[in-house]
Chains A and B, each alone.
Chain A
Amino acid sequence: MAILAEYHRPKTLNDALDLLADSTARRLPLAGGTHLVGALETRQRRDVDGVVDLAALELSYIRQVDSSLHVGAMTTLTELVEHPQCADLAAGILPATARFEGPQNLRNAATVGGLVALAEPDSEPFAALLALNASVVAVDRDGGESHRLLEDFTLSNPRSSQGPILITEIQLPLVHAVAGHARIARSPMDRCIVAAVAVAAANGDLSRRGTSSGGNRADSTRTALCGVDTRPRIAGGPLLPTSDYKASGEYRLAMAEVVGRRARTDASGSHP
């Protein structure tokens, strides 16, 4: 049973950050609640006195700014994938992968900010955001706004020494791209054991890391992998997957190559 002493729904970011910074109580930000409420209810999280609901911060929006889409952190996964520009981005890779995050009643509540904050190792839409070269906007208590690539962003401890930070927005480059996706799971809709998302931009601009060498379209493919690290990651460099009840590290390592290849092949056959 959830044992909470406090519930707050601040109206401003500053108020939210103040509540989170207040050391007299142990508080966590509450976005859609699909993860946190369950964790509280099962007592998986016991170190919490209260929650700070972000619902009133007006962070639910999707808008185009220049050549990118700005997605508010409280935008639900459903709103994200149903938005016409998101739905069409890179041959529809966001809707294609979001299905595997959970069924619609979870996607209707789960938020993009929550997805990024959790960075679950088997999150395929997170991998899609990585492959799309998304970036994250976060603010701290002093009003400072940071802007980092998703692949460089972590939110391991919201009560770090620098004080709390909150994810406010995800930014997606609007590029003319194709995408591919491959996965292995125990059942067709189970969360993946290993998965890969590949996105290829016709002009190669997406490419930073996780690409093969060369300059043609195939070589500009950016591939993100799930199930091979503590969080989804861009392909390239040594992989050190761990073993769990779904599969061994050895299997995951071998399959990373397979799904990566298949996702790139899939991308090469898709249409922007």
Chain B
Amino acid sequence: MPSSISLTVNGTHHHIDVYPGELLRTALRRLRIFSLKHGDETGETGADAILFTRTPDDPKSYRLVNSGILLAAQADRASVVTLEGLEGEDAEDAERSLQERLSPRISTLQQQFIECGAIQCGYCTPAQILAAQHLLDKEPRPSEDAVREAIAGVLCRCTGYLKPVQAILRAAAQLQGETPPPPEIDVRDAPATGEWPASDRLPSNGWHDGGPDTQTQTRTVPVTVAPPRTQVVNKPEPKVDAVKLAKGRPVFADDVELPGMLYGGLLTSPVAHARILSIDTADALALPGVHAVQTYADLPRVIYASGGQSYPQPPPYDQVCLDSKVRYVGDRVATVAAETPELVQEALERIKVEYEELPAAFSPEEAMQTGAPVIHDEDDAQMIHDAKRNVAVKLLVDHNDVDAALESAYFVFESEYRVHQVQQASIEPHVVITYWDEDDRLVIRTSTQVPFHVRRMVAPLLGLPVRRIRVVKPRIGGGFGGKQEMLIEDLCAHLTIATGRPVKFEYTRQMEFSSARTRHPQRLRFRSGVDASGKLVGMEVRVVADTGAYGTHGLTVQMVTGFRALSTYWLPAARFDCDVVYTNKPVPGAFRGYGAPQALFGLEQHMEEMALAFGMDPTEFKRINWVKEGDSLVMAVAMGEGREGFPQTVESSGLAECVETGAESIGWHRRNDPDWKSPPDRPHIRRGIGLAICMHGTGIAGLDMGAASIKLNDDGSFNLLVGATDLGTGSDTVLAQIAAEALGVPLDQIVIYSSDTDFTPFDTGAYASSTTYISGGAVLKAVEDVSLQIRRHAAAHLFEGVDADQLWLEDQKVIAPGGQAVSIEKVALHSIHQEEQHQIMATASHMSYVSPPPFAAQYAALEVDTETGQVTVEKAVMAVDCGIAINPVTASGQVEGGMTQALGYALCEEMPYDDNGRLEVSRFGDYRILAANEIPELDTILVQTYEPTGPFGAKAIAEIPMDGMAPAIASAIFDATGIRIREIPFTPERVWRALKSEKK
């Protein structure tokens, strides 16, 4: 029974009815306090942090606590302050003028978060700001350590914490009357290739390169303005979504309450491999308030592949919405829709399932053995390579005769590596809300990276045509590939279809670990040969990958592994041989880097080991072999993602500069300092520095396509509609910057919206580091079209004797060679209202047959405790060539966040299982992602080259920071101890055992 509590929230007294088990977070969100986010059920994320006291008369008694591990009843007569209460935006303020009230009130702290680029997805931002404000109230001049400690209980998966810490320190300084200098980003031009094109004039045809002029044709995008005349591009513009995120506004999928909304829940399998003999749902359905229970018997059996990828989905097709067989602990069994989350839980626990347990296989080696249990024995699965051997996908790609090349090599080296399974662990879990709209169309509001793929993929599962489905992507609380999947949208939609009611369906943190997606574990074997000078003559890579119970991204991730392993260094001959194998484990899928971190962990160590065995300095060995400008990527044609690829040539590379600048930052020379390496006062400590080089891609050549629409408004501003999906990376900002630059207007004149399948044009989605390059190319094309329309209208009606191609846009004006100018606003009003009336607008698409690689040098300096095996990274450096950084702040933020995730991959993140295939971690903490007070010094250096095929010279940056940390740490451990460890993570025990076995 509910009871009434008295609660003061941000100074307002409330009397609310709460249930005994209701969380304070839930109660506060019922009061429309949406800055509190659900990150987990056990308090580790801190996304729901509040300031709380039971003695509100004492202002100093407020403490930061997590509202998700407090019962609402515990808060009776307490007082709570949330982010909304700090700012007092809604409070009456007679001192604010009408003009001031038209703008949002931003606190110093919020302003610094915005200016420093401390906000990426923004899901944890309200709690971080609240924690920071609480600190500053107590300690106006905090140390960096104090700041890190203050926000350590608010986990962030995006930023790496550096920029939030900077923001808090700068806010502290500002509040003390100081004027902190602008945040500094280390941006350098690579000498050989860093020059922007000399001309800043538009080529006569608008494009540098010719070719058929279709909307989706690959062509070199125009350089409309070159530095130093860029006004918006290559500038640290604040993120366009930063204010709403800094203010904790209801912008995420979960931040709506629809009338009559039900809650959905999923019953998952407790066993690793079994047939369902029976399911009894009667007790669950008998509960008042339970509206639907669905099992395999209730849903049509439609075979599909869940990976959010372009049509046609890469095989295998091995899933159905609900099946009569379960293939891993956490697999789908049944769903429930009910009036409250508590009822959902109770109903799920009342479903009786009788399982016939089957033998299970938990490793690829086991699964491929003769007589192993067949995981996909259903007869309607399609395009499984060899179901009887549990091989989902077989990849075998040859370039020239690698056997002959290795046979004739001067020196051949072979080595093997293992990488493990980890989780994307975005702080916002998967969450979706489905409902019928007034036209009987199904609306799916979902936290997804791929709204258009979801719409296309879910349609046949629901029996609805695509036209009756609308997918809305609000802000996303992090994705990292985990939301490049049609994961729960189908189940939620089926519940809405069954009940006719809106349904909200959200994963718990435990389900995120057991029933979402992960990174593919792999065993990689490298065999390479060199000639007498150390030049590679051939390389063979053999990979056995674990795809868990379903194939989803199994083909494409492993294809990328092969491509990265065999493209970073130039190879006359190469072979990739890979088995992607089913096991009875949770399912790997897309995860930032998408096969590259696995490949590079093996490749970089293999190259280093080979160099040492050959008798050559490893860095020099890599330098003479890495791909350079003008080199072709020999595996590109054979290894597209799930289809044939296209020829690729490296047009820009700042790798040499990256290696050089990174070495300077890390203090590479210390490798030769015995006192540094073996500090005399700490006899059990050994120090080392390691290097890994990285090469990634920029979109998927010949496959990714993005589109953009732009229209001119009466006041000279523009609405930019993009299908691209900003999952916190800042892509909306970057796309708006591209538009603003090319239109000669400030960033605030571009009103960008993404994405809604009803209103925004198609985009493949946020993956493969493609958005800046592909979607940015579309924006640039659409903008060029609009620019031409503006100039034509102006030339025809507002200038005399001037052709459109003589005009240009700058400073919100259309300018003629003689200096005459009219404002874009005037052109807008004239074209819409006065003469030859029409809407100036354009839509364009862009795709590319090339995928220009960004390059990077990744360094780690660390110490190894030789008694315990504990590895402590002291500093990590990434010098990265991402072409021209459209926004240096968001670009460096991508690097810092990626490096931090990669540190976790190398050191402490792990998905261990018991003997029955049950995951042994179900919460953060046990699954350790790094907190603010344990991050080493991070240094990011943007080494700019000019990529001629990219918008304003840009390449990608989102994924490459994930690639090189683990091999750099392996290299540093070797430098410190002489021990080579070929498997991650570098846990204390693994390192200790390696040290011990070496002693023997």
Contacts and interface: CB of A to CB of B under 8 A. Distances in A.
Q: Do A and B come from one complex?
A: yes
Interface string A90-122: 000000000100111110110000000000000
Contacts of B988: 184-186, 193, 247, 251, 255
B65 A188 contact: no
B49 to A, nearest CB: 5
Contacts of A9: 73-74, 76
Which interface class (under 10, 10 to 19, 20 to 34, 35 or more) fits A?
35 or more
A30 interface: yes
Contacts of B985: 186
Interface in A149-195: 184-191, 193
B63 interface: yes
B21, B68, B345, B870 pick with most chain A CB within 10 angstroms? B21
Interface in A77-99: 78, 99
Contacts of B21: 1-4, 7, 40
Given A191-B925, A251-B992, A255-B868, A7 B907 contact: no
A37 B67 CA distance: 11
A108 B64 contact: yes
Nearest to A53: B74
Contacts of A46: 349
Contacts of A34: 43, 66, 69
A241 interface: no
B3 interface: yes
Contacts of B3: 7
Contacts of B346: 3
Contact of B42 (A42, A51, A53): A42
Interface in B532-585: none
A267 B386 CA distance: 62
Nearest to A42: B41
Contacts of A251: 988-989, 992-993
A51 B22 CA distance: 12
Contacts of A51: 20, 71
Contacts of B675: none
B841 interface: no
B41 A38 contact: yes
A244 B66 CA distance: 28
B20 A189 contact: no
Interface string B976-990: 000000000101110
A5, A50, A186, A190 pick with most chain B CB within 10 angstroms? A186
B510 A42 contact: yes
B959 interface: no
Contact of B54 (A5, A55, A102): A55
Interface in B108-123: none
Interface in A27-49: 30, 33-34, 37-38, 40-43, 46
Nearest to B63: A108
A7 B19 CA distance: 9
A227 B992 CA distance: 17
Contacts of B20: 4-7, 50-51
B333 interface: no
Given A37-B70, A245-B910, A251-B992, A3 B65 contact: no
Contact of B63 (A1, A50, A78, A185): A78
Contacts of A244: 920
A40 B342 CA distance: 11
B911 to A, nearest CB: 9
Contacts of B865: 184
B64 A105 contact: yes
A186 B923 CA distance: 16
Contact of B989 (A43, A190, A247): A247
A259 B869 CA distance: 12
Interface residues of B, number: 65
Contacts of B54: 55
A106 B23 contact: no
B71 A33 contact: yes
A258 interface: yes
B64 A1 contact: no
A53 B508 CA distance: 26
A9 B71 CA distance: 12
A187 B934 contact: yes
Given A50-B20, A78-B63, A188 B153 contact: no
B43 A38 contact: yes
A245 B69 contact: no
A244 B872 CA distance: 22
B6 interface: no
Contacts of A42: 41-42, 508, 510, 922-923
B131 interface: yes
A203 interface: no
A248 interface: yes
Contacts of B989: 193, 247-248, 251
Interface in B38-91: 41-43, 46, 49, 52, 54, 63-66, 68-71, 73-74, 76
A245 B921 contact: yes
B868 A258 contact: yes
Interface in B472-506: none
A189 B65 contact: no
B268 to A, nearest CB: 12
A1 B344 CA distance: 8
B73 A106 contact: no
Interface in A106-153: 106, 108-109
B868 A37 contact: no
Contact of B74 (A2, A55, A185): A55
Contacts of B345: 1, 3, 43
Given A40-B21, A189-B931, A190-B908, A2 B342 contact: yes
Interface string B571-613: 0000000000000000000000000000000000000000000
Contacts of B934: 187-190
A115 B439 CA distance: 56
Contacts of B926: 245
Interface in B747-783: none
A105 B904 CA distance: 22
B928 interface: yes
B539 to A, nearest CB: 34
B908 A105 contact: no
B907 A108 contact: no
Interface in A47-61: 50-51, 53, 55
Contact of A109 (B42, B69, B872): B69
A260 B11 CA distance: 50
Given A3-B346, A38-B42, A105-B66, A187 B74 contact: no
A7 B71 contact: yes
B2 to A, nearest CB: 10
B872 A188 contact: yes
Contacts of B807: none
A99 B150 CA distance: 11
B77 to A, nearest CB: 10
A6 B42 CA distance: 21
A53 B342 CA distance: 21
Contact of B69 (A3, A37, A50, A55): A37
Interface string A1-22: 1111111010000000000000
A55 B933 CA distance: 31
A68 B926 CA distance: 36
A61 to B, nearest CB: 14
Nearest to A38: B42
Nearest to A261: B867
B105 to A, nearest CB: 26
Given A5-B20, A9-B74, A76-B63, 14 more contacts: A1-B342, A2-B71, A9-B76, A41-B23, A46-B349, A105-B43, A106-B153, A109-B66, A186-B987, A193-B989, A245-B921, A247-B988, A247-B989, A258-B868
14 contacts: A1-B345, A2-B21, A2-B23, A53-B73, A105-B46, A105-B131, A106-B66, A109-B63, A109-B65, A184-B868, A186-B908, A186-B985, A193-B989, A255-B868
Q: Give the 4 A-B residue pairs with the shortest CB-CB distance, closest first.
A: A103-B153, A2-B21, A4-B21, A38-B42
